[in-house]
Structure 1
Amino acid sequence: MGKGISTLLGVLGRRGFPAVTVFASVIGASFAYLAVTPRLYETSARLMLDDKKASVSELGRDLTQINSTAIGRNPLADQAELLKSQTVLQLAISKLNPPIKDSSTQKPLTASDIRSNLKVIIVPATNILDLRYQSPNPNQAAQILNAVSQAMVEENIKTISSEATKVREFLAEKVPIARQRLLQAELAETKYRQQSGVVATDDQTRSLVNSLAELENQERILAVQLQETRSRDASLRQVTDAKNINTAYASVREGQDEQLKVLRTKLTDIETKLIEARTKYQEAHPTVLDLVQQRDEIRALYGQQMARVSSSNQTANFNNLSNDQISQTLISDLITNDITRLAVENKLNAIQKMRANIQSRLALIPIQQQPLTVLTRQREEAAESLKFLQSKLEEAQIAEAQKVSNIRIIETAVAPELPTSPKRTVVLVIAGFFGSILAVGLVLLLELMDNTLRDATEAEELLQLPLLGVLPRLPATKLSLEPAEQFLDDLGLVEPYRMLLKNLEFRNVDNLQVIVVSSPLAGEGKSVIVSHLAAVSAMLSRRTLIIDADLRKPSQHTLFNLPPRPGITDVIDGTRPLLSAVQSTTIENLSVLTCGELRGRPSQILESAAMKALVAEAAQRYDLVIIDTPPLSACADASTLSQMSDGVILTTRPGFTLKEVLQRAVSELNQNRIPVLGVVVNGMTSGTEKYYRYPSEEYPSILSRPLRRLTSLGSSARNSANDSRSN
């Protein structure tokens, strides 16, 4: 558990910056979105569709009554669509005073602008419409929605009044005609009475005449009904294109079949895809052929299903199927109307037979009495018809003048105080969620892609070698040891090198004199480690020599501000003895043998017997010899010089050293039986390694005194011992 937490903390320490950057970018983008996106305010209003008789006249009540008897019809849905119609929205725009302009285009508001921001919701189980409107301006949103509500009410009043006007105009034309008919009937009766001298008839004659008149009246009504049904039948047949009733009935059944509906939908989708495919590919393309095959299969299934559904041999054509509600309603009306027509025809035939029978009976009645009875009945019928038309005309006039409506406003819109979009909290929560996911994903991706060494713990586990030390990243001003006090007086930098030196002594019981320092790759700081480790060793009163054996890219003379020659090459070719070629530094007990002027191949120089003799002589004259060599991956110089030493130290750098290269370098050293003293992790910071803390934070008081003074007490005794050993 503790290891997992420490690993997680290490990952966060290494990848904290990119993770925080990604998270901050997402949060910043969300704030930018909130800043750029205009705020929208939503207001609402409510309308109710009243199902009550609001008019005092019977005709007005009929006009305002909600008609929902049609199958599948919803009056609220009709009104909801009417709310978004061009007529209502234009009327609402005309009511806005002063006129409102669109906030984005600064152009006058149009019906399309209102329609795009208007939502109409039917409240379930009620006759209420919920109107909602969004606008960047809360006051304008309330004004527009109230104007739409008022326009809807006025349009409803106008529609009802218009229907009442049409009825009134129709009745106004029929009343004079009925009055003229009554006058003619009265004149005919009076004339007949004057000519015939008949005043009254007996009860039998009157009864027969009344029955005949009633039958004639029914015959006229049925004739009118028959004419209406025939006209309606012709209109319905023309609209539905139905040839006969059986075909129409089959069309309704097949149009209502759910499986046929599914097959028609699939067939329509396939044909649409086939049209698109033919615009892109040739007819022989596999995609086109596959779609054609699917279409034929669906058509075959459709034919089989139609044969199953059809109860007779007559099957409706696919294009004539009544698969929508309107078509099914029209065909149902056609079938009902045809049945009604047959019933009216049968009833009319029966009445005509009865009328003929009564007429034959009246033939026996005296001729003078029969016409009088007929004329009297005609006069009475004309009077009743005129009275009925006059009554309806009065109702139409009342309905037209009353201005009734079955829609009323039950809740007006008010200006909202808070915006409804965008939702700041929701946007920030979503941004935080996705920002966290992206940050974690980036950390995981970087960890998976990173093949470099991460920290000292990983180096120790990966190589199974002793961890000699963890060295801090040196500031650029302290890479060079001139002046040396900048480094030696800094406890936080000196102590890690001192611990490295002590670890070397503790892990090697034999006298450790010659050390080779190398690294898998260039740039891992081995030369700086050599110079600073030697400086600490010299500070501890050890006679220390640095041999810069990196002949291809020497750097020790630069770190100590020394001339490159005399050096190794001068000793190898015999030009100078070792003590003459060694250069002193400003640090007591520390000497440097630089590379010298390169004469010949570096490999020949380092492989020579003179080089072995040089290393052996240096081991006799100095307490500690540290050899700086080229990287292991560059050449075999480090392996060659390691055979002349007591062991090699591998230098690594987190975030730079490739694990694969490091493992291969250790494997080669083991194969060559070269003793590896251990691994040094260089360039660590508090962010990359949490477990190695340097004493600069814990002992600040010590830093007030130079460290070189702390070691001066034992230097004379140590020098005496060294002199006696050299003698």
Structure 2
Amino acid sequence: MEKSISSVFTILKRRSFPALLMFAAVLGGAYAYISTAPKMYESAIRLMVDEKRGTSVSELGRNLTQVSNSPGNSPLANQAEVVKSERVLQKALEIASAKTSPETLNSITTKQLRRGLRVKVVPATNIIDLSYQSEDSQLAANLVNSVAMAMIRDHVQAISSEATKIREFLETKELPKARQALMVAEMEESAYRERTGIISFDEQTKSLVQSLAALEDQQRTLGTQLQEARSRGESIRRITDTSTLNNAYTTVRGGQDDELKKLRAKLAESETKLIEARLKFTESNPIVIQLSEERDALRNLYSQGLNRVSPDNQSIPDNNIADDQISQQLVSSLITSNIERAAIENKLTLVNASVSELRSRLNQLPAQQRPLTALTRKREETATSLKFLQDKLEEARIAEAQKVSNILIIDPAKPATIPASPKIAVVLALAIAIGIVSAIALIILLEMLDNKLHDQDETEELLQLPLLGVLPRLPAKATILQPANFFFNEISLVEPYRMLFKNLEFSTAENLHLFVVSSTISGEGKSIVTSHLGAISAMLSRRTLIIDADLRKPVQHKLFNLNPQPGIAEVFDGTKTLTQAIQPTEIENLWVLTCGDFYGSASQMLESAAMRHIITEASEHFDLVIIDTPPLTICADAITLGRITEGLLLVTRPKVTVKEMLQRTITELSRIQIPVLGVVMNEITSQNQKYYPYSNQASQSKRVDKRTVLRR
């Protein structure tokens, strides 16, 4: 867990500059937006649609101002749409013109006002919030207040207009007709009274009329029921094909009688046997004759059974027997329907007799009373209708005159003092959040795209090999070892190489005498590591020889300020012996075998037995032989020499070594069984090393005595 956290902090530190640059860019964009965006001020007003506030003294006024709560009808939603209508917005601009300069208001159209006006219905309430934003806070407050006033006036005008239409309709059409009808009814009644001299009806007349009306209603009801019963019975009779009730009864009894059921079953069985016998034999066959006689006997028994259950011994065809449940139910329904019809006919006969009796009694009353009763009823009904219309007319006049609206202003709009947008806190918070996310995304992207090594922890985790040393970046003065004063006088440079040398000694079971130094690609500093590692070995009193086997790009003679000839090429050609070709350096106990003047095939020379002899001879004369070879991805020279040495030291460099190449190199070396002594990380800086072994102050206080190192 601690290692993971440490890796995260290492990555953050490594990518801090681009991440901070991304974060600063996002914040800069937010600052630019805040600086350039116009400051908008928002004013809001709160309205309430109150059904109780629309109470009127008239019922019509209450109905017109009543807020509908029917399902699917939302008064608040309706008002929210009305407030953005063209007529309301036009009225709002007219109202606002009284408090706003024409120059400012002329630039605002109803389309712009509709686009900037925000309408919000507060859930679970009858409240509507209206808001408007503008660069002028006074203009925003004036416009939103004007919209609210226009909305109220439009609502009042709508109620008044509806009441006006009702009043005009009553005054011009309905009331004149009602008055004329009442006047005609009064004149007819008055004329009849004058002509007949009748003043009032007798209570008995009223009672007789009411009774007669009730009986007539009953008569009509019974007639309808009788017609339904006849239709139902006729339909069932057609379905069952039954002519009389006796036949229907016989049909049901015949189908339900157990003895007849058994006889029908036996008769069916006998018919089947007879058919089968006729198929096999002739009509004169005894079997056929016997079966025919049995069938006829069963038919006679079945006919006698039908006569037994049939009233009056009527004969019923076999196909009319209701031997299934549905047929029996239909026939039973036919019988029941006929009984009900007979009962209704009897009851209707009695009602008809009662009606005739009442009519006869009414006919005995004075003939003048009946017309008078009808005329009186007509006058009363006409007067009631006229009174109702007059009441509605008064209600319409009251509703037309009242100036009441259901819409109430709760909180009027006031000029805002703080801009509503841009919201600096929100913009900065979003910018910080987006900046952090963008920076993290950039870090992840860079890490995904970056395939280079960065630190020692990453190297160990990637290769699963021992990291023998972590070497610092050398100053320019320390790369050249002749003179070597600067390098040996800096303990912060010497100690990492000494630690590497000791780790190399401990990595082998026996004393280390001969090994190869190489890298994956060019530029990782394997030649400098070779030269300085040889210098440390010489400093520790070991006779050390550095062989520059990088024949394609030799550099060891440059690091020690030596002549490139004689070298390996001269020893290989036989013009020089190994002792003659080896060149001493300024450092005591350190010699270098340069590449020499070489023009042939490097691979052919390194693969030859002569090269093996040179290396063997060198290992016999020196305590330690270090061979500098080309990078492994360029040629196989390091592999060739690695087979005849004790192992290979692999040099890596942060931000240079490619992870994939390094992994493939280690895999290939393991496959061909080239011993890898370990890995060294070269040119580590303070950015990719957490702990530096020695400070500058320590390097100044502790010096290596150059007299013990340099050649006298």
TM-score range, shorter chain: 0.5 to 0.7
Quote how far apart the aligned CAs of 1:517 are: 1.6
Q: Which amino acid in structure 1 is aligned with residue 131 of structure 2?
A: Y
1:466, 1:679 within 8 Å by CA — same for their partners in 2? yes
| 3-state DSSP of counterpart to 1:634 | coil
| 1:664 match | 667
Q: Give the 3 Å change call, closer, same or farther, for CA 576–130 of structure 1 in structure 2.
A: same
| 3-state DSSP of counterpart to 2:471 | strand
| 3-state DSSP of counterpart to 2:474 | coil
1:164 maps onto 2:159 in alignment? no
The one-character-per-residue Cα deviations of 1:592-639 (angstroms, maximum 9, x if unpaired) are: 433222222113333445545544565566665432111234334224
| 1:151 match | 150
* Distance in structure 2 (CA, Å) of the matches to 1:507 and 1:390: 121
| 2:44 match | 43
Q: Give the 3 Å change call, closer, same or farther, for CA 391–444 of structure 1 in structure 2.
A: closer
| 2:273 match | none
Map 1:124-143; keep pairs closer than 5 Å: 124=124, 126=125, 128-137=126-135, 138-143=137-142
1:711 maps onto 2:712 in alignment? no
Map 1:190-229; keep pairs closer than 5 Å: 201-204=198-201
Q: Give the 3 Å change call, closer, same or farther, for CA 678–410 of structure 1 in structure 2.
A: closer
* Distance in structure 2 (CA, Å) of the matches to 1:205 and 1:506: 143
* Distance in structure 1 (CA, Å) of the matches to 2:689 and 2:103: 61
Quote how far apart the aligned CAs of 1:158 are: 0.4
The one-character-per-residue Cα deviations of 1:496-517 (angstroms, maximum 9, x if unpaired) are: 1232234445556866554432
1:699 maps onto 2:675 in alignment? no
Q: Which amino acid in structure 1 is aligned with residue 160 of structure 2?
A: S
| 1:687 match | 687
| 1:635 match | 635
Map 1:585-624; keep pairs closer than 5 Å: 591-608=591-608, 610-612=610-612, 614-615=614-615, 618=618, 624=624
Quote how far apart the aligned CAs of 1:160 are: 1.2
Q: Which amino acid in structure 1 is aligned with residue 64 of structure 2?
A: L
Q: Which amino acid in structure 1 is aligned with residue 133 of structure 2?
A: S
Identity of aligned residues (%): 47
* Distance in structure 1 (CA, Å) of the matches to 2:463 and 2:103: 72
* Distance in structure 2 (CA, Å) of the matches to 1:73 and 1:129: 16
Q: Which amino acid in structure 2 is aligned with residue 662 of structure 1?
A: T
The one-character-per-residue Cα deviations of 1:164-186 (angstroms, maximum 9, x if unpaired) are: 21122223325566666777788
| 1:546 match | 546
- What are the ranges of 5 or more consecutive residues in structure 1 without an aligned counterpart? 213-352, 720-727
* Distance in structure 2 (CA, Å) of the matches to 1:468 and 1:448: 28
Q: Which amino acid in structure 1 is aligned with residue 46 of structure 2?
A: A
Q: Give the 3 Å change call, closer, same or farther, for CA 483–176 of structure 1 in structure 2.
A: farther
* Distance in structure 1 (CA, Å) of the matches to 2:443 and 2:522: 27
| 1:88 match | 88
| 1:474 match | 474
2:492, 2:699 within 8 Å by CA — same for their partners in 1? no
| 3-state DSSP of counterpart to 1:493 | helix
**Greater Cα radius of gyration, structure 1 or 2:** 2
2:116, 2:133 within 8 Å by CA — same for their partners in 1? no
Q: Which amino acid in structure 1 is aligned with residue 694 of structure 2?
A: P
Q: Give the 3 Å change call, closer, same or farther, for CA 361–414 of structure 1 in structure 2.
A: farther
Quote how far apart the aligned CAs of 1:545 are: 4.2
Q: Give the 3 Å change call, closer, same or farther, for CA 627–205 of structure 1 in structure 2.
A: closer
* Distance in structure 2 (CA, Å) of the matches to 1:358 and 1:79: 67
Q: Which deviates more, 523-532 or 109-118?
A: 109-118
Quote how far apart the aligned CAs of 1:695 are: 0.9
Map 1:254-293; keep pairs closer than 5 Å: none
Q: Give the 3 Å change call, closer, same or farther, for CA 685–184 of structure 1 in structure 2.
A: same
* Distance in structure 2 (CA, Å) of the matches to 1:478 and 1:544: 19
Map 1:306-317; keep pairs closer than 5 Å: none
1:401 maps onto 2:401 in alignment? yes
1:182, 1:383 within 8 Å by CA — same for their partners in 2? yes
Quote how far apart the aligned CAs of 1:478 are: 5.1
- What are the ranges of 5 or more consecutive residues in structure 2 without an aligned counterpart? 210-354
2:43, 2:413 within 8 Å by CA — same for their partners in 1? no
* Distance in structure 1 (CA, Å) of the matches to 2:362 and 2:477: 140
| 1:232 match | none
Map 1:245-394; keep pairs closer than 5 Å: 364=366, 392-394=392-394
* Distance in structure 2 (CA, Å) of the matches to 1:609 and 1:132: 98
1:574 maps onto 2:574 in alignment? yes
Q: Give the 3 Å change call, closer, same or farther, for CA 476–133 of structure 1 in structure 2.
A: farther
The one-character-per-residue Cα deviations of 1:404-424 (angstroms, maximum 9, x if unpaired) are: 323222222334455666766
Q: Give the 3 Å change call, closer, same or farther, for CA 115–464 of structure 1 in structure 2.
A: closer
* Distance in structure 2 (CA, Å) of the matches to 1:116 and 1:537: 83
Q: Give the 3 Å change call, closer, same or farther, for CA 364–44 of structure 1 in structure 2.
A: same
| 1:256 match | none
1:494 maps onto 2:478 in alignment? no
| 3-state DSSP of counterpart to 2:128 | strand
Quote how far apart the aligned CAs of 1:157 are: 0.8
Quote how far apart the aligned CAs of 1:35 are: 6.7
Q: Give the 3 Å change call, closer, same or farther, for CA 102–617 of structure 1 in structure 2.
A: farther
| 1:284 match | none
1:460, 1:466 within 8 Å by CA — same for their partners in 2? yes
Quote how far apart the aligned CAs of 1:569 are: 1.6
Q: Which amino acid in structure 1 is aligned with residue 667 of structure 2?
A: R
The one-character-per-residue Cα deviations of 1:222-256 (angstroms, maximum 9, x if unpaired) are: xxxxxxxxxxxxxxxxxxxxxxxxxxxxxxxxxxx
Q: Give the 3 Å change call, closer, same or farther, for CA 506–371 of structure 1 in structure 2.
A: closer
Q: Give the 3 Å change call, closer, same or farther, for CA 381–38 of structure 1 in structure 2.
A: same
* Distance in structure 2 (CA, Å) of the matches to 1:375 and 1:130: 58
TM-score of the pair, normalised by structure 1: 0.62
| 1:456 match | 456
| 2:61 match | 60
| 3-state DSSP of counterpart to 2:142 | helix
Quote how far apart the aligned CAs of 1:150 are: 1.2
| 3-state DSSP of counterpart to 2:52 | coil
1:205, 1:365 within 8 Å by CA — same for their partners in 2? no
CA RMSD of aligned residues (A): 5.1
| 2:241 match | none
Q: Give the 3 Å change call, closer, same or farther, for CA 139–633 of structure 1 in structure 2.
A: same
2:182, 2:382 within 8 Å by CA — same for their partners in 1? yes
| 3-state DSSP of counterpart to 1:119 | strand
* Distance in structure 2 (CA, Å) of the matches to 1:545 and 1:95: 103
Q: Give the 3 Å change call, closer, same or farther, for CA 363–533 of structure 1 in structure 2.
A: same
Q: Which amino acid in structure 1 is aligned with residue 150 of structure 2?
A: A
1:546, 1:625 within 8 Å by CA — same for their partners in 2? yes
Quote how far apart the aligned CAs of 1:161 are: 1.0
The one-character-per-residue Cα deviations of 1:476-525 (angstroms, maximum 9, x if unpaired) are: 67545576555444333232123223444555686655443222433321
1:478, 1:487 within 8 Å by CA — same for their partners in 2? yes
The one-character-per-residue Cα deviations of 1:512-552 (angstroms, maximum 9, x if unpaired) are: 55443222433321112122333445566766543321111
1:52, 1:65 within 8 Å by CA — same for their partners in 2? no
| 3-state DSSP of counterpart to 2:698 | coil
* Distance in structure 2 (CA, Å) of the matches to 1:357 and 1:112: 80
The one-character-per-residue Cα deviations of 1:435-489 (angstroms, maximum 9, x if unpaired) are: 6667667666766776665543565576666543211233567545576555444
| 3-state DSSP of counterpart to 1:133 | strand
The one-character-per-residue Cα deviations of 1:57-91 (angstroms, maximum 9, x if unpaired) are: 454344333444x5544444433433333332332
| 3-state DSSP of counterpart to 1:143 | helix
* Distance in structure 1 (CA, Å) of the matches to 2:370 and 2:612: 161
| 2:118 match | 118
| 1:555 match | 555
The one-character-per-residue Cα deviations of 1:92-113 (angstroms, maximum 9, x if unpaired) are: 233333779999xx96333475
Q: Which amino acid in structure 2 is aligned with residue 152 of structure 1?
A: M
Q: Which amino acid in structure 2 is aligned with residue 664 of structure 1?
A: T
* Distance in structure 1 (CA, Å) of the matches to 2:145 and 2:372: 67
* Distance in structure 1 (CA, Å) of the matches to 2:662 and 2:116: 62
| 3-state DSSP of counterpart to 1:699 | helix
1:53, 1:61 within 8 Å by CA — same for their partners in 2? yes
